[in-house]
Amino acid sequence: MVKWEYKTVYIDFPKQQEIRPGQRREAEQAYSSAQAILNGYGEQGWELVSLRPEQLAAFTGSVRWEFQPQTYLAVFKRAKE
């Protein structure tokens, strides 16, 4: 029977508002950084089993309030050796 170990990791994103030409680079860097974090754990044998938003950033949109994830909780697992 396989026994598992689990790891939880918080991944932060900068507050993102409307992506204007000057802001696009910042958003792309945040997503590249998150991808690097996920790939790093994958290279260590961890499998991502859950990724959910934990903290939301709120700001006014053109007509209503908008909410975007600012922090995600990632849950990984791998077989115990």
Tens digits of per-residue pLDDT, 11-48?
887 655 445 555 555 666 666 788 889 999 999 999 99
Which residue range is the domain that position 46 belongs to? 4-79
Interatomic CA distance for residues 74 and 51, integer angstroms: 5
Interatomic CA distance for residues 69 and 1, integer angstroms: 37
Q: Could you give the residue ranges of the DSSP H alpha helices within the chain?
A: 21-43
Residue 6 sits at φ, ψ, to 5 deg, of: -125, 155
Which token pair is 78?
A: 């791998």
Q: What's the domain count of the chain?
A: 1
**Percentage of the residues of the chain whose pLDDT score is greater than 90:** 40
Whole-angstrom distance between the N-terminal and C-terminal Cα of the chain?
A: 12
Please tell me whether residue 64 adopts helix, strand or coil conformation: coil
The pTM for the full model equals 0.68
